[in-house]
Chains A and B, each alone.
Chain A
Amino acid sequence: MATVYVPPPLRRLTGGQSKVEATGQDIAGVFQAMDAQFPGVSEKLLDEDGHVKRFINVFVNDDEIRSLQGMSTPVKEGDRVSIVPAMAGGQRS
């Protein structure tokens, strides 16, 4: 069971929760578990090829998964997964 930090734009799908628990062997598994619980999460995070969209960074604990093993990065009990999309603030998106 990992704790997943959900960024504000995704919270619409998680019922407003900023942290959710999800279980999976790796990042792909954690996202599948999240999608089962909160349908639509995968579509928001992943492109057609199943890679994390390029304006989103995913971290396991303090490191970005591209510097680890990508979607196959192992996720252990108690790990912290952070989903961090680009933010611009302001009046326009």
Chain B
Amino acid sequence: MSRLNRDQLLQLARGQITEMSPQDLHQRLASGEEFTIVDIRERDEFVQGHLPGAIFVPRGFLELEIEQRQPDRDKPLVIYCAGGVRSVLAARNVKEMGYTRAISLMGGFNAWKNAGYEFQIPTVLTEEQRLRYSRHTILNEVGEAGQLKLLDSKVLLIGAGGLGSPAALYLAAAGVGTLGIVDFDNVDASNLQRQILHDANAIGRPKVESAADRLHALNPDVKVIGYREPITSHNALDIIKDYDVVLNGSDNFPTRYLVNDACHFLGIPLVDGSIFMFEGQVTVYQPDKPELGVEGGPCYRCLYPDPPPPGEVPSCAEAGVLGVLPGIVGSIQAVEAIKLLLGIGEPLAGRLLMIDTLDMTFRTLNVRRDPACPLCGEHPTVTELIDYEQFCGLPSHSNGVGPAVEHSRLAPEQAAH
């Protein structure tokens, strides 16, 4: 076995790889050439600033992770460290793995920065957050960037009841930075069988307050904004417009049509869930986003152009609901919301998930956009929010969307504990 000292090893490695100057790299990037740029420094170095678009894989993990980050071994790979030494050895090793175009950046980040070229200072998780979200950030589909995206995201929950409870708990635990909750109701003893956001001490308290306390205790990173009011045609657009995703856990048809229409007008994806006895349904109503290459699916009105006549479909209060069921459905809604926020996987759009907990079957049925849909079809006739109680055959301002008495809207700072 040959014995090499440090300088001999470096010399040997330099002979096996390509080195590129910051000037050369800068020029090639400017002319549109594509490089996968890998920053192999330690975390404390990376957070001080890095080349634009660089992926961060510390030296110790490079060979272990590079295939996941860049599966194509024929793509040019520019590896840099602080001064251009560590990257020589790193490039040699990945070249041995078959990365034929592994390049070491001469002089490393320091030379790049001294040349006056642009660099980025990353937003990073705090030490506490790195620990809290470590099981997320280790997932390639999430990573630190994905977790930061979640922390920067806003999800609105319609209802803090059976569906909203597990969804809010999991979204808060996942570190979704802002959770809006619309619910005018107070906690009732009969809620506790399934609405796990609330406990016996909260009976009689507004649900948005009880929810904010619980969520804040779970994760102080999360800002909770409570809207202690019924959602109506008058306030829906205002409340919904600032959110990235809406999660529907409402308990009545007028609200379902209202939220569907408002989300469509605002171009915001809606994760819909509903439960009855032992069975649940989940789907995503995703509007088109041509600028993001997103082809949406059907909306609630495509599936159900008309509401059932009042009384035709019994309610959970009349027929009952298994307490665990909303735990399943609401959790699936939370998964879909996170997928939409991160842009990963296949959203449950154009598919209706049917869950039957008695025979424990999960089935997805295909649902399609209706060209004749009055909202999202070719010739829309619903072009603004309407009177949804009337649309659903209920007396206006009746108990369709909740009693009109509770209009005291909590200011966000009051509700966010």
Contacts and interface: CB of A to CB of B under 8 A. Distances in A.
B304 to A, nearest CB: 4
Contact of A8 (B251, B276, B304, B365): B276
B399 A92 contact: yes
Interface in B293-321: 303-308, 310-319, 321
Contacts of A18: 356, 358-359
B253 interface: yes
B366 A90 contact: no
Residue from A9, A86, A89 whose CB has the most chain B CB atoms within 10 Å: A89
A51 B196 CA distance: 41
Given A8-B277, A84-B352, A88-B274, A93 B310 contact: yes
Nearest to A64: B367
B17 interface: no
A82 B354 contact: yes
Contacts of A9: 312-314
B313 A85 contact: yes
A62 B365 contact: yes
A20 B307 CA distance: 26
A59 B364 CA distance: 11
Contacts of B251: 88-92
B270 interface: no
Contacts of B161: 90
Contacts of B279: 7-8, 87
A93 B304 CA distance: 15
A86 B356 CA distance: 15
A6 to B, nearest CB: 11
B162 interface: yes
B368 A64 contact: yes
A69 B148 CA distance: 48
Given A88-B274, A92-B400, A93-B253, A55 B304 contact: yes
A66 interface: yes
Given A57-B367, A64-B368, A86-B304, A93 B311 contact: yes
A9 B279 CA distance: 11
Contacts of B275: 87, 89
Interface string A55-93: 101010011101100000000000000101111111111
Given A88-B250, A89-B326, A92-B251, 13 more contacts: A8-B319, A54-B304, A54-B306, A55-B306, A57-B304, A59-B366, A63-B365, A64-B368, A86-B253, A88-B252, A88-B256, A89-B163, A93-B308
Interface of B: 161-163, 250-253, 256, 274-279, 281, 303-308, 310-319, 321, 326, 352, 354, 356, 358-359, 363-368, 370, 399-400
